[in-house]
Chains A and B, each alone.
Chain A
Amino acid sequence: MEITNDILAAYVEGNVSDSDREEIRQYLADNPEQLETVMIMMDEDYDIQLEGSHRFNNADSFNSELDNLLDDVSKVPTISLSPISKSVLPMMSMAAKNSVDNYCAIRCEGIALRKLDVEVDDDELIEESKKDGIIKEHGTALFNIGKLAGKRGLNVAHRYNCAFEDISNALAENDVVLAVVDSSELLGFNESESEQDREGFSPNHVVVVNSINEEQITIVDTSSSNAEDVYTIPHFACAWDDSSNYLIIISKNNKYVPHPIDLAEVPISGDLLELREAIAENAHEVWAFNRMKEGWSYGPFRDDENKLHPDLIPYNRLPESEKEYDREMAMNTIKLVQKLGWELKKKL
């Protein structure tokens, strides 16, 4: 088949048979310079250009943009391909990947630090974040938010499944509250956006909460031109919900209240129960190995001075109460891995 512009136009519009499509694909792979023609055919608004012609003026420029796009699309995490279940915590999601410069998490930490009387410069924080690997190409992973504050000796709590009451309680303690939201829902561009969002949650933006009451919430959004933005509670809830109501609470307050992630609903069965026992046993091996390396040995009673410990025996001989401690740790680890969105599969 001779590939003419008419054929390519039909291909662009999807009006070719499967066999013709295959042939055209082969032709385009053999003649990649034709992809630029395809792109122009595809653009119904090709006449809309900026005066002064900023647009590309050679094939290399188009190729380079296409390369960048291909790489970016390849890097889109697979997890976003299916809806993130509400039972999964999106800890590995990137904050700021949708904002203008990918630095919203860092800028929010900068605001938090200054609120807590730690003088910092945002540009220096950004450089520090890059150096420390806190910020990646597409933003800051949610679990990394707060590391800059932590480095400066402040208390940082990462908390999922929070309620608005948690925000007001933290603000009442003069803590700084960062909330992770879906920026599209926060900005609420149009109805079609909410349709799209049914396909998955996108916790991709961090904001600082300034105040909250029963009707509205006031935030600092580093991608907004306003000093503060006010949203109704239902509107903000919609955007915040996408992060499984994730908060990062930064505080000078030394009051520590543990908030372990609730794993009660995470199911575990079959092979994973065997894995639990294997992890529990190995945890004991690691603990015993390190103790012995430090000079500890078996003794019927614990004796810190003489480095004696009754549990320095094989796992199978441990009392059930001690085994249960290791099993619980193992169980929580397995459940947490699942809760954070990973899948455990048996290979052998």
Chain B
Amino acid sequence: MPKLIENSGFNVSIDSDDPEKPKVQIPDGGEDNYERRQRKVLLMEAISQLEDDDQRFVILKRLQGYNSKEIATLLQKKWQKYGIKKYNNKKELVVPNAAYVDVRTQRAKENLKKIIVNIK
């Protein structure tokens, strides 16, 4: 006799031995439930689709535990590594700082939302 549990209004059999019945995915009860884990997967996929190199860089370094100031230093290293030089509208050489990183981070978050909405 299968036991029945309540799951969002539906009765789901969890120990039926009927091979005809499809397997049922039971969501976790904790905070990081299955749906949230799926959203994290899509978020990671969206990061890989960020077109702007700096935006992808700051997001990945954020995930590695760095703060804005540290990421600015890392970005300087990156630009040095690839010989990247950027100039502002006053024709001054841009040196990434925490504010630059924060602007990139915010832009990245906005773009991530757009990408996630459109992910198939």
List residues of A whose CB falls within 8 A of some B CB. 12-14, 18, 25, 28-30, 32, 35, 38-39, 42-43, 45, 48-50, 54-56, 61-62, 65-67, 69-70, 72-74, 76, 80-81, 97-100, 183-184, 187-190, 192, 196, 204, 223, 235
Contact = CB atoms under 8 A, between A and B. Distances in A.
B43 A235 contact: no
B40 A184 contact: no
Interface in B55-103: 56-57, 59-66, 68, 70, 73-74, 77-78, 81, 86-90, 94, 98-100, 102-103
B114 to A, nearest CB: 6
Contact of A32 (B37, B64, B102, B120): B37
A48 B44 contact: no
Contact of A54 (B41, B70, B81, B94): B70
Given A190-B94, A192-B52, A29 B38 contact: yes
Question: Interface on chain A toward B: helix, strand, loop, or mixed SS?
Answer: helix
Contact of B43 (A43, A73, A183): A73
Interface stretch (B7-15, B16-24, B104-112): B104-112
A45 B74 CA distance: 10
Given A55-B66, A184-B103, A76 B113 contact: yes
Contacts of B26: none
Interface of B: 32, 34, 36-45, 47-49, 52, 56-57, 59-66, 68, 70, 73-74, 77-78, 81, 86-90, 94, 98-100, 102-103, 106-107, 109-110, 112-114, 116-117, 120
Contacts of B62: 65, 69
A67 to B, nearest CB: 8
A100 B98 contact: yes
A73 B109 contact: yes
13 contacts: A29-B34, A30-B37, A42-B47, A48-B78, A50-B70, A54-B66, A54-B70, A65-B65, A73-B109, A97-B106, A100-B98, A189-B94, A190-B87
Contact of B81 (A38, A48, A189): A48
Given A29-B37, A196-B107, A190 B44 contact: no
A42 to B, nearest CB: 5
Contacts of B78: 45, 48
Contact of B68 (A38, A39, A100): A100
